[in-house]
Amino acid sequence: MTFFKHILQFSLPLLVLLLLIDISVVKAQSDSFKQYSFDRNVVIVIDPGHGGEDVGKPRSKKTFKHESDLNLDIAFRLGGYLEERVKNVTIKYTRKTDRTISLTDRVNYANKIKADYFISIHCNALSNRNYHGTQVHIQSEKFPTSFGLAKEIDKEFIRAGRKSRGIKDRNDRGHNLQVLQYTEMPGVLIECGFMSNPTEELYLNSGKGQTYIASALFRALRNFENKRPRPKLDVRYPYYRVQIGATPNWKDLSAKKYKNLNMAIDTLKEGKVYSLLVGREYIKKNADVLAKKIKKKGFKDAYVRTFNKPTIIKKVDPKPEKSLEKKTTPTVVSTSSDSSKLNAQNDSLHFYRIQIMSSEVEINLTKREFTNLGFPVYLFYDKETKNSYKYQVLVGKTYSKVEAEKIKAVVRKKGFPDAFIVTVLEREKRNPEAEYIPKK
């Protein structure tokens, strides 16, 4: 027994080392097929707006999708392009399913993982049904990186044939957008089109439209990250907040006077009391205007405070996000959710690929039968299977079962009649031996 223990003691580290080498070789082979690369590790948070109980802009008829679903579709396409074509990029989503997530959780999640970019996906609507085109929203034109990325996105939308409705910041809108106001990294909120326009709603619901939009966003992010010289970093300090009072017990926020304020209130513990803070402005005069409004609502001692570095606060959650054409009027609630659960929940999710064939020998994915499919094609090796057909060819990657069915139908018509859908758990996904990614 002692002999076997000695053997295990010396062989186990070697086995672990060989396993790590094998994993790194597979990853290197996979990355070698990617067309582009960033010269640093870039983390991008993609935020599909709305979700769950908050559908955003409702669909006009049953054959179309609500805004929340369209946002998710476009987000997955964008994330897929980046993951499949760019080295040194990590994609995170604030949601991967149709579920309700507060604006606070979206912000906290992006800040917690210290993302390099925050990309929020939305669709627009107006009472004027003739309006169409795209808009890009930022916090301030004084943030060089956010503004530079917004200009790159706007340029790529125009190249894709979209009507540009321009770049809007906080002063243009006359109000803040919470996901841009409180995130600590460069960020944009994109309005991909107007669902109130019948032609554009059809476009937003089409595979072609979503592909054009996601491709434009992909090119913009790729080009901007590789731009030299790099734009100056966004400087988010100092910023200004309005203190409306202080209390020894932050649960006092359930009092009627605070609810009537109709604003998200943050509590900052200072000594034995909690300072009550609202707003976050990067221009002093905007904070002064906010302080005057709050004084008129009964908080006569409200005043502007300057913050030169991040502060630890207890975030009080507003109600679901409003559409951009109206100012948000968040309601105070007494608890905040734990955004750290987002990743754990995402890890239990799954996606779909379409298996088109298996083989005893390695397969060359550059053959016309594969490149003609029009989708990414992957070669996997399953050394665990008892079957001699250890090489498997799979097509695409989508989180939508409906989209997977469409891909399956296409590849069956193009010469693979036995193609079938494979469900892959996110936590069990494998790196391919080889891959072919279409250029368009």
pLDDT tens for 147-169 read: 999 999 999 999 999 999 999 99
Q: Average pLDDT of the chain? A: 84
Q: Which pLDDT tens digit goes with each residue over 19-55?
A: 555 544 444 545 666 889 999 999 999 999 999 888 9
Q: Is 399 helix (H, G, I), strand (E, B) or coil?
A: coil
Q: In what order do the strands lie in the sheet with 420-425?
A: 420-425, 350-359, 391-398, 377-381, 434-436
Q: Are residues 322 and 169 in contact, defined by beta-carbon separation less than 8 angstroms? A: no
pLDDT tens digits along 272-312: 888 999 999 999 999 999 999 999 988 999 999 999 876 65
Cβ neighbours of 99 (radius 10 Å)? 11
- Segment 317-338, tens digit of pLDDT: 434 334 343 333 333 333 333 4
pTM assigned to the model: 0.68
**Sign of the Cα pseudo-torsion (4, 5, 11, 12, in order):** positive
373 pLDDT band, cuts 50/70/90, is very high
Phi and psi for 265 in degrees, rounded to 5? -115, 130
Per-residue pLDDT, 194:
97
What is the C-alpha separation between 11 and 364, in angstroms, rounded?
36
Question: With the C-alpha atoms ordered 102, 106, 108, 109, is the resulting torsion angle positive or negative?
Answer: positive
Please report, for the chain, the start and end positions of each structural domain, with discontinuous segments joined by +: 1-32, 34-225, 241-337, 348-436
What distance in Å separates the CA atoms of residue 43 and residue 49, rounded to the nearest whole number? 19
Which SS3 state, helix, strand or coil, does residue 382 take? Answer: coil
Check pLDDT > 90 for residue 107: yes
- Strand boundaries in 34-161, DSSP class E: 36-48, 86-93, 117-124, 134-137
If you write DSSP's letter for every residue of 23-71 in order, what string do you get?
Answer: HHHHHHHHHTT-SEEEEEEEEEEEEE--BTTB-SSPPSSTTS--HHHHH
Non-local (6+) Cβ contacts of 61 within 8 A are: none
- Which fold would CATH assign to domain 34-225? Aminopeptidase (3.40.630)
**What is the fold, at CATH topology level, of the domain defined by 348-436?**
Alpha-Beta Plaits (3.30.70)
Rounded Cα distance between 283 and 305, Å, is: 12
Structure tokens at 361: 């020998």
Strand 303-307 to 187-194 pairing: unpaired
Query: Between the CA of residue 409 and those of 18, 27, 165, 351, 399, what are the distances in Å?
Result: 41, 30, 37, 17, 17
User: How far apart are the C-alpha atoms of 110 and 43, rounded to whole Å?
Assistant: 10
Q: β-strand 36-48 against 117-124: which pairing, if any?
A: parallel
- Per the CB < 8 A criterion, the answer to whether 430 and 380 are in contact is yes
Which of 213, 57, 82, 81 is closest to 136 using CA atoms?
A: 213
Give 332 or 103, the one with higher predicted confidence: 103
154: tokens are 């706007």
Could you read off the pLDDT of 428-440 as tens digits, one per residue?
Answer: 778 888 888 887 5
Measure the CA–CA gap between 377 and 356, rounded to whole angstroms: 10
Is 316 within 8 Å of 252 (Cβ atoms)? no
